Amino acid sequence: MDAISVIRTKRDKGELSPEQIDWVIDAYTRGEVADEQMSALAMAILLNGMNRGEIARWTAAMIASGERMDFSSLSRPTADKHSTGGVGDKITLPLAPLVAACGAAVPQLSGRGLGHTGGTLDKLESIPGWRALLSNEEMLSVLDTTGAVICAAGDGLAPADKKLYALRDVTGTVEAIPLIASSIMSKKIAEGTGSLVLDVKVGTGAFMKNIDDARELARTMVGLGTDSGVKTVALLTDMSTPLGLTAGNALEVRESVEVLAGGGPADVVELTIALAREMLDAAGIKDADPAKALRDGSAMDVWRRMIAAQGGDPDATLPVAREQHVVTAPSSGVLTRLDAYDVGIAAWRLGAGRARKEDPVQAGAGVELHAKPGDTVTAGQPLLTLHTDTPEKFAYALESLEHAWDIEAPGTPFTPRPIVLDRIA
């Protein structure tokens, strides 16, 4: 077996054999297949796809590259959630402690930013002292004592995916449905959660731009989970407009704390509660009210314990970017569109994301929104505020925002798009 023959098979639109898949994943994990060779194979998969059998085998090979976790010692049922990535998607931050406050254990293995989308770990690392890297023993301890943990997958959990995940980010292959599905599900199945809710984003700011592709991805992942004995359900949710009023790292943490305090933007609260209800139902918890847990402060209590258990200071002042630039509305009227992708690219260019897998991110960088579609704006009023430590990035970020919004005549009717578009189970 050799890498070139595997690449050629998929390049020529052939079906990879189980033996080819097992070999290439194992060889890449061991370093026998080079990054440039796996990059070529990933691009061939992006362009030519995989069938259901190939995806299942690829996922199984990723799982087999490492260990599997076991949460059977916990007194609570486990429920996890995964988002396919969006702009302003800070939902995991309030969601994990909320579901834990309602009686489930939430072992949330999260990732870093991919392309224009933000990463949960990048956001949380803006909290002074907070640690993403925990041993399996530490993860289990935090989960047992607080009910929720958000951390990076350990080196022993699907190590093939850890290498490929970083490679996809810098080679233009993030959007490949087979690679998205296998990446997510290999970690979630190996993680050992009893149930899983998938938040599959749809729209300009998502990797799935149309609902048909999103349904294909959702069905693929639900099938992979169900076949492996994990109760799995997917919600298709809108990502044509950024979630909430911030896109960045510390900016989104601040907004998440507002949600946990009983406030925050309505769209973030709505999606958080919808996903919490799905997770609790999948875990067999029928009598809990997540809306009440936000109101009465119990979710905030879990958040504070969870952050402290991972070395963070929940009372610490969050980083603030050294420089800001205000973008004003060019005319008066109704804001009918604010493009999630363009805002995500702007946040990425300001330093909230990375261009290379080894790049650092700026904790305070990002975009703050002062209006959402449906709002009436006045010429000259602040529309967006850009945040960065490096002001030379402003011009580059502003280029991505040149066509990011539409403002129609005053009084123009506006019908908001629902946040939850479909459910796949």
Dihedral Cα 34, 39, 45, 48, nearest 10 deg: -120
Both structure tokens of 181? 């599905």
Among the listed residues 187, 215, 277, 387, the single catalytic one is: 187
Task: From the candidates 80, 161, 267, 342, give the one annotated as an active-site residue.
Answer: 161
Q: Of these residues, 57, 168, 304, 305, which one is catalytic?
A: 168
**How many residues does this entry show for the chain?**
425
Q: Tell me the CA distances in angstroms from 11 to 47, 58, 285, one per residue in order.
A: 8, 17, 47
Of 267, 271, 261, residue with least CA distance to 245: 267
Of 65, 126, 182, 183, which one is the catalytic site residue?
A: 183
Q: Assess whether 168 carries a catalytic annotation.
A: yes
- 236, β-bridge pairs: 200, 422
Q: Compute the CA torsion angle 377, 381, 382, 383 (nearest 10 deg).
A: 30
Do residues 66 and 159 lie in contact, with contact meaning Cβ atoms separated by under 8 Å?
yes
Assess whether 116 carries a catalytic annotation.
Answer: no
Task: Please choose, from the candidates 144, 150, 102, the residue with its C-alpha nearest in 3D space to the C-alpha of residue 281.
Answer: 102
Among residues 10, 57, 82, 304, the one annotated as catalytic is 82
Name the 3-class secondary structure at 407.
Answer: strand
What would the two tokens of residue 216 be? 């294909």
Phi then psi for residue 159, to 5 deg, are -60, -25
Note if 325 is an active site residue: no
**5: exposed, middle or buried (Cβ count in 10 Å: 0-12, 13-18, 19+):** exposed
Query: Is residue 409 a contact partner of residue 334, using CB atoms and an 8 Å limit?
Result: yes
Q: Please, are residues 333 and 381 in contact by the beta-carbon 8 Å criterion?
A: no
Beta-carbon-side half-sphere exposure of residue 86 (alpha carbons within 13 Å): 30
**One-letter-per-residue 3-state SS of 11-72:** HCCCCCCHHHHHHHHHHHHHCCCCHHHHHHHHHHHHHHCCCHHHHHHHHHHHHHCCCCCCCC
183 in active site: yes
CA dihedral 93, 199, 183, 36 (to 10 degrees): -90
Beta strands in 79-194 (DSSP E): 80-83, 106-110, 148-152
Concerning whether 82 is annotated as a catalytic residue, the answer is yes
Q: How far apart are CA 213 and CA 157, in angstroms?
A: 28
- Give the CA angle between residues 172, 402, 356 to the nearest 5°: 25
Among all residues, which ones are annotated catalytic?
82, 161, 168, 183, 187
